[in-house]
Amino acid sequence: MAKQYDLLVIGAGPGGYTAALKAAEFGMKAAVIERRKVGGTCVNRGCIPTKALLYASGMFHMMQSSDAFGVFTDFISFDFGKMQKYKDEAVEKYRAGIEEAFRKKGVDIIYGNGVLRRDRTVEVDLAEGGKEFFQGRYVVIATGAVPIMEGIPGSDLPGVWDSDRLLAAKTWSFDRLTIIGGGVIAVELATIFNNLCSHVTIVEKRKHLMGSMDTVMSQELESTLRQKGIAIYCDCTVADIYQGEGGLWCRIEPNDGGEAVTTRAGQVLAAIGRRPNTAGLTGPDVSLKMDGAKIAVSPEFETSEPGVYAIGDVCTRTQLAHVAAAEAVYVVERLAKRPHSIRLKAVPNGMFVALPIVPSCIYTDPEIATVGITEEEARQAGLKVRCGHFSMRENGKSIISGAENGFIRLVFEAYSNTIVGAQMMCPRATDMIGEIATAIANGLTAEEMSFAMRAQPTYNEGIGSAIADAMSHEPV
C-alpha cells in the first residue's frame, strides 16, 4: 500500500524545496523525492557554484590592477583546484541549510528516481535499493531542466563540455575556451574564465548576445566583453568541431553566407540553453499534455492530470530559480486555501498593460539587471513614456571603486509617472533591482519613489538621479 502525504514533490530544486517547506508551514504533510542532491541544479550545478567562481575569479582579476589603489604585490596566481574547493564548500553549506529546514519542519526527503503513476501516485526506485510507492493528495512536478547538447559534428569529442561538467572540473585546462551560445550561462562563464586569463571566444547564432534582452543593453554588454578581450562572433554558427594541433578547433560560419573562420578552441563549452527535464517522468498509465518540450499547465499551474501541478523550468518559459520558487508559493497557497502573498505580474491603476515584476539578473562585470518593460516594449503596448538615464561615471561610489562603466535607465508611464521598467548595467545592479521590482509591484510613481532618501555615497544614488532625469524630459 502506498504511503500517504498531503503533498508529494518530485524534484528538490528551488521550486521543489520551496513548495515542500511552504506546505509544511501550513500544516500539510509533505515529502520531496530527489534523484541526486537537495538543491537541484541551482544549488549544486548552477546559480550558487557559478556565483562562487565569479566571486573568486573576480578577486583574482581585481588584484591584477590593485596598483591603481596603491596596493602592490610581486606575484599573483590562482589555484583552480582551491577555487573549486571554495565553491564546493559554499554549495555544501547552502545545501545543508535546506536539509536542516526540512528536518525542522518535518518534511520527508526520499532519495530515488520518481515516476508519476495514475491517481497521484509516485513510484520510486530508491537510491538504497528496492521500490516504494507514495500517494499524494496533490503532486507537484519540479524536475527542472538539463543542458542541451546540440548535434554539431564533433560535439562528442573529449574536451567538449556542458555547463554542469565544466563547473565540476577539478584541474585547469582552459587556457583557450570557445563557448557556443550567447545567453546568461555563456556570458557568466565567459566572465569567469576571462578573469582567469583564458582566451575566450563566444559564438552566438542570433544577431546579438542575450537575445531576449533590450538591444541597447545587449550592445553595451558586447562592447564591455570585447574591451575585456573576449572575442565575439554574433550571427554565426559553429559548423563543426575537430581535433587538430594544440587541441580542439572550431569552424565558424557567418549566417549570411560569408567566409568561414577557423579558430583554435582549446576546450569547447556548449551553452545553447536548457530543455525541460521530462525524460522518464511518467509511467505507462499516465500521459501528461505537453506544450512542445514543456509540460502544459493551466494559469493555476495544474497539468492535464487532476491534482498534479508543475512549476519551474519544466513548464515555464522563464528559467529562473526565483521564478520557480515564486510559482511554488503561489501553488501551495492555493492548495492550502490561503491568500496569495506573491505575484509574477502587476497591472498598475489606470493601465491596461500587465508588467512583469520578475527581476532578470546577469552576474557579469558590471552586473546587469532588468525588470518590467523597456521603452520599446512600452511603445509596442501603446504607452507614452518618460525615460530617465544616469551614467555611473558621475556616481561617487563608482569613482571611488574605479567601476565607472555602466548606467541606470528607468521607464515611467508619461501621464501618471508610474514606474513601468528599469534596465541597469552597473556594480550591485542585481541587488538594486529589487527596489524597482517592489516599486512596479506597488504601482509607485516617480514622486513616491523620490520620497525615500538614498545614502551617499552609494551606487543606489543613481536611481534617484535617473528619476530626476526622467521628470525633466517630455513624454515620448
Query: Of 3.50.50.60, 3.40.50.720, 3.30.450.40, 3.40.50.1820, which CATH number belongs to 3-146+276-335?
Result: 3.50.50.60
pLDDT level of residue 65 (50, 70, 90 thresholds): confident
Q: What is the mean pLDDT of residues 241-249?
A: 89
Per-residue confidence (pLDDT) for residue 355, from 0 to 100:
86
CATH number of 160-272: 3.50.50.60
pLDDT level of residue 213 (50, 70, 90 thresholds): confident
Q: Which CATH superfamily is domain 355-471 in?
A: FAD/NAD-linked reductase, C-terminal dimerisation domain (3.30.390.30)
pLDDT-wise least confident of 83-87, 155-159, 436-440 = 155-159
Per-residue confidence (pLDDT) for residue 251, from 0 to 100:
94
Using an 8 Å Cβ cutoff, are 418 and 351 in contact? yes
% of the chain exceeding 70 in pLDDT: 99
Using an 8 Å Cβ cutoff, are 113 and 16 in contact? no
Question: For residue range 2-46, what is the model confidence (pLDDT) as tens digits?
Answer: 889 999 999 999 999 999 999 999 999 999 999 989 999 899 988
- Buried b / exposed e over 155-193, threshold 16 CB at 10 Å, is beeeebbbbeebbeeeeeebebbbbbbbbbbbbbbbbbb
The pLDDT of residue 351 is above 80: no
Query: Mean pLDDT over all residues of the chain?
Result: 91
Question: For residue range 372-427, what is the model confidence (pLDDT) as tens digits?
Answer: 999 888 888 889 999 999 999 998 999 998 877 889 999 999 989 999 999 999 99
Per-residue confidence (pLDDT) for residue 245, from 0 to 100:
84
Per-residue confidence (pLDDT) for residue 214, from 0 to 100:
76
* Domain ranges for the chain: 3-146+276-335, 160-272, 355-471
Q: Is the preceding omega at residue 49 within 30 degrees of 0, hence cis?
A: no
Question: For residue range 104-149, what is the model confidence (pLDDT) as tens digits?
Answer: 999 999 999 999 999 999 999 998 888 999 999 999 999 999 888 7
Q: Do the domains at 3-146+276-335 and 160-272 have one common CATH topology?
A: yes
